[in-house]
Every structure is written in structure tokens, then in C-alpha cells.
Amino acid sequence: MGHVQRRLASTTARLASSLSTAHLQKFPPKELLYIKGREIPTATIDPDTWASLQSPPPTALSAFAHRIGLSSVLTSTEAIQQVCTHPSFVQLLKQHKPHEQEPATNAQLSAIGNSLMGLFATEYIRATYPYLPTRVMKAAVTAHVGPLPCANVAQEMGATPLLRWHRSRGTILKPGVLHSDALASIPRALTALVYQRRSLPSARQFVHSYFLSREIDLRGMIKFLDPKKALLEMVKKFQRELPKSRLLKETGRFSNSPVFVVGIFSGEDQLGEGFGSSLKMAEYRAAEDALLRVYLTRTPPHLVQLPSQTFPVGVGDVYRELPEGDYTPADLVESEIMYASSGNSFTRSS
Amino acid sequence: MLGQRFVSFIRPLTRAYAPKWPRPKPGTAERPPYRAPDPLINNPSATVTPLLDEDLTFIHRPPPTAPSPISYTTNPISPLLKPFSQTSSALPPLLRPSAEKSTPQRLTAEQIAEIRRLRALDPVKWTRGRLAKKFECTQQFVALVAATKKSTRAKLIQRRDEEHAANRAKWSEKRSLVAAISQKRRQYW
């Protein structure tokens, strides 16, 4: 299948979003019929536009709430409708149905939910990988709860046919709205709704089960420009002997396919090991391995302590006068090295 | 019936690889072929786990140079995260002969002043490398102690880059291609 056919198929799938007309009182509606008396009959509205203006059937909304396990939280179809309505839809509705009441959108809920998800992801990654550099931690947070995973989770939940939105081009003042942006607002709004109607620990549970259980490849996110320099700084921080590379094994020197295995040692401790087709390459990889062994050290899952555990459990907000939850803070570890970090991002010099 | 059953696997009496005959000719540089040790036999890093419910034995033999990806804070694999302990053992040889050199001696204040004077006098003649050789210290130390002014340094670097670019322009197409390939390869380290 060529790329043109694939794009057509995906566009059609997005447009013809399983629209059911069973819940409509009258079908076909007047707008889709030809105007009587006109010479050349034309419908007042384009069928695709009409379809995008329709609200999904209440049965589909209810099914969605049950499918994601929030049927007790999303008790009314209005709440689910609000979650699935992107603010860009209001403009479209006003354009074609100016007399209809403005629907409730998920703009505020999405903003609250986004902040909450960022909080939960950051505390989880910080607790799980205490030695991870800040820039990698930020990338990991984006990989867990960023716009792309939010859109993917919304699709997996089956919210695509329920979404009401309108595509818009970006201007200098306002950014454009794409399908993935609109979809991403749905899980964020759900998080905020769980937080409002239940509690912060419940919202955290929602985010953990849908987002923080996803597999992320951290190793691929960590790139080095000069790993030997970074390792030297790290070893100095830990106050050990300066690293020296030693040749562990080699074969095929002076042939067209040599293999060298080099280890980087601090005194007698081997910090890392790497192979390569040249001595320099093997040393580079050994330095990378030594750094990754530290950065990717994780806390065992049963020992992870999250600061938001201190908030009281049970339905209600976090400001209630109740005893705090149990929380044992982890020991502070060595801070990250300054080389290749963002430094003090908020000062003028950097 | 049992007597008619033949052994399904008969070990060959002669190896197909690295044969013992023909013997290497004595008095020449010929040597007998290298016999690699079988990694399946007597592997110290093999872990044997009997799976009793399936009546199987699971043997895990990790490759000897694969770095362990699993490191927990309770059991880290990096020696930097473990408490410092001295173990005396024979270490493999250093990678490059320059690593055998001991750290240079501390320079006196007069020597440092002399380095600064020469560098300020003529940075083109008294380069970092030349000064390092003269005073028996490292180039980095000379750069730390007697750095040229930013404007001078920028000019020198620009001149050097222009010279290098002019030389690169003289290269044949094949040489340029080889250099470009090795530069690209560097990205995949």
C-alpha cells in the first residue's frame, strides 16, 4: 500500500468515526436535505462537517467510562462529554450553529491534569533512578506523560470516535491544533476529574496504571559527547583513583576486522567494559558503559518511596486535617556532574 | 529390540576444524592451529537452574563481555557506588604506553612565571606543546597557567583551520571519501 493510500485510509478512519445516528430524534436532519425550490439543489452543510459537529451517542460515552474503569467517577454522560470536548470545537460549533449553547470543554481540566501528571511522573522517576542526570530525567518524564504518550493512551482507551475537536492552522499568536494535541487532552482531563471527584492518591494511581507502567528505553536516551571527560569528573566526585584504560582481550590486530575489549579501571576496580574495532572505539564504549552503570541504577520497585505518599488517603482534598501517610525519604546521593548538564539554566551566564 | 537401537549421536573420532594433521613443518614459522576452548564446558559464569515442574534444566551462559544491565541501589554493579575496598590482584596491561608515565612534578613559581613570559612573548613560536616539552609538564597545564588572550587565540585557531582546510582541498577524492567514512563511523561508536 503506497503512502497516499495509507494517508487516505487514516483520514477516512478519523473522519468516519463510528458515528451512530440511533440517538438522534430526527434523521436525516434538515441541514443535510436539499433546499426546496432551488434550481441547483445544494445541502446547507457539508456531510463531513455535519458529522464532526455531532456529539457521540450516550451509549458510547458510557461504554468508554466503563472500559477505562472510571464508571463510578464519571457518573454522568455530561462529565464524559466534557472530557472528550477540546476547546477548538467551540469555534467550529459557533461557526455552523451560532444559536446553540457553548459546550463545556476540557481546557481547564486538561491544564490541571497535565500538571498533576508531570508531578507524579517526576517523583516516580526521581525515586526510581536517583543517579539519572536532570536532562535525561526530563526526557524520561516526556516519554512517560508527554503529548505523544497521552495521545497514544487516548487511542488505546478508544476515545478517538468520542473526541470533538476542530483542526486549525498555527498563527504567530496561537499554536495550531492537530489531532494528537486534541487526543492528548483527554487523559489529562480524566486525571484532573479523578483528582477533583476522588483524591490525589487516586489520580496518582490512575497515572501509574496507564502511563508509568509503560516500557521506556532510558539507555537510548542517554548520549555522550565525551564520555571519558564525563567519567573523569564523576570519579573525582566520588573521590576515587583516576580512571585508566586497560586492554582485556584482543584479536585480529593489523587485520581488516580487529576486535578489542577494553576495561576502564579506577585503581583495581573495573568501572566499565567496552568492545570495538579500534582501541579508541573500545575505550569510548568502556567509558560509556561505566557511566551508564551508575546512571541506570534503580531502586527496587518495592522500596520506591514517593513524596506524595504523605497526603492522606480517602475521598477529599489534600488540605484535610488528617495524619500524614508513611514516608521514608531516600538517602541523598552524589549530585550530577556539571559537564554536559544544562548547568544553572536560569542564570544569565548559561 | 534394545540391542538393535543404535546410539543416536556418535562423537566423531577426528575433528573437522583445526585438524591435528598435517603437522606444522618444524624449523618454520608454521604453528599448530588454534583450538578455541568450548564455552559450554566448564563455564564459570554459567548458572544452572533446575525447573522441577517442567522436568527441565535451564542453563544461562552470559557472554563474557556483556555488561550487566541490571543495577539496583541495594546491589549496584558499579564499584563507584559500592564502599571502597582494596583487593590486590593482577591487572591487565595499560592500553597505551603513555599511560605508564608518572604524574609530572609540581613546577615552582619561577618556572610558571617563565612559561607566562615566553608565551606572552611569542605565542606562535612558544606553543603549548613546545613549552610542555621544555618544562616537563602537560599541555593542559600550560593552557591553564599561560592562556593566550581570547582574541589572539581565536586568530591562531582561525589561521590553523584555514591551513588545514587548504590541505584538505588538495586531497584526492579517494582520500576525502575515506576520511568522510571514518568520520561517519565515529558517530556510531
* CB atoms closer than 10 angstroms to residue A14: 14
Which residue of chain B has the CA closest to A334?
Answer: B81
Cross-chain residue pair B67–A297, CB shorter than 8 Å: no
Give the mean model confidence (pLDDT) for residues A223-234.
Answer: 95
Give the mean model confidence (pLDDT) for residues A55-66.
Answer: 94
* CB atoms closer than 10 angstroms to residue A67: 12
- Vertex A188, ends A183 and A191: CA angle to 5°? 140
Which residues on B lie below 8 Å from A284 (Cβ)?
A: 189
CA distance A202 to chain B (A): 28
Sign of CA dihedral A291, A231, B78, A248: positive
Among A74-78, A263-267, B58-62, B164-168, the minimum mean pLDDT is found in B58-62
Distance from C-alpha of A243 to C-alpha of A209, rounded to nearest angstrom: 42
Residue A70 has pLDDT above 60, yes or no: yes
Interface mutation vs chain A, best among B91, B95, B184, most A CBs within 10 Å: B95
Q: Which residues pair with A261 in a beta bridge?
A: A249, A275
Q: What percent of chain B has pLDDT over 90?
A: 55
CB proximity under 8 Å: B 70-99 to A: 71-74, 76-81, 84, 86-89, 91-96, 99
pLDDT in tens, A270-315: 999 999 999 999 999 999 999 999 999 999 999 999 999 999 998 9
Q: Report ipTM (2 d.p.).
A: 0.81
Q: How confident is the model at residue A350 (pLDDT cuts 50, 70, 90)?
A: very low
Counting the structural domains of chain B, the total is: 1
Which residues on A lie below 8 Å from B86 (Cβ)?
A: 267-268
B16 or A77, greater pLDDT: A77
Task: Give yes or no for a contact between B112 and B132, defined as CB atoms under 8 angstroms apart.
Answer: no
Which residues on A lie below 8 Å from B97 (Cβ)?
A: none
Cross-chain residue pair A294–B80, CB shorter than 8 Å: yes
CA dihedral of residues A163, A169, A171, A176 (deg, nearest 10): 30
pLDDT for the residue B9: 54
DSSP string, chain B: -TTTPPPS----SS-SSS-S-SPPPTTSS--PPP-PPPTTSS-TT-EEEEETTTTEEEEE---TTPPP---BTTB-SSGGGSPP-----PPPPBSSGGGGSPPPPPPPHHHHHHHHHHHHH-TTTS-HHHHHHHHTS-HHHHHHHSPPPHHHHHHHHHHHHHHHHHHHHTS-HHHHHHHHHHHHHHHT-
B97 or A337, greater pLDDT: A337
Interface mutation vs chain B, best among A264, A293, A304, most B CBs within 10 Å: A293
CA distance B99 to chain A (A): 8
Residue A29 has pLDDT above 90, yes or no: no
pLDDT in tens, A209-218: 999 999 999 9
DSSP run (H or E) holding A244: strand A243-251
Distance from C-alpha of B97 to C-alpha of A118, rounded to nearest angstrom: 51
User: Is B160 a member of any domain?
Assistant: yes
Sign of CA dihedral B157, B159, B164, B165: positive
Interface mutation vs chain A, best among B80, B181, B185, most A CBs within 10 Å: B80
Which residue of chain B has the CA closest to A304?
Answer: B73
User: Is B123 a member of any domain?
Assistant: yes
User: Is B50 a member of any domain?
Assistant: no
User: Is B148 a member of any domain?
Assistant: yes
Distance from C-alpha of A77 to C-alpha of A61, rounded to nearest angstrom: 6
CA distance A294 to chain B (A): 6
Nearest to A118 by CA among A50, A212, A41, A38: A212
* Domain interval for residue B124: 109-187
Q: Which long-range contacts (CB under 8 A, 24 or more apart) does B91-96 make?
A: B91/A246, B91/A265, B91/A268, B92/A246, B92/A247, B92/A248, B92/A263, B93/A246, B93/A247, B94/A244, B94/A245, B94/A246, B94/A247, B95/A244, B95/A245, B95/A246, B95/A247, B95/A262, B95/A279, B95/A283, B96/A245, B96/A279
Pairing of strands B56-60, A259-266: unpaired
CA distance A149 to chain B (A): 25
User: Is B145 a member of any domain?
Assistant: yes
CA distance A231 to chain B (A): 11
pLDDT for the residue A247: 95
pLDDT in tens, A158-168: 999 999 999 99
User: Is B12 a member of any domain?
Assistant: no
* CB atoms closer than 10 angstroms to residue A308: 17
pLDDT for the residue A16: 56
pLDDT for the residue A34: 74
Among the partner-chain residues A130, A268, A303, the one whose CB lies closest to the CB of B89 is: A268
A350 or A330, greater pLDDT: A330
Distance from C-alpha of A110 to C-alpha of A118, rounded to nearest angstrom: 12
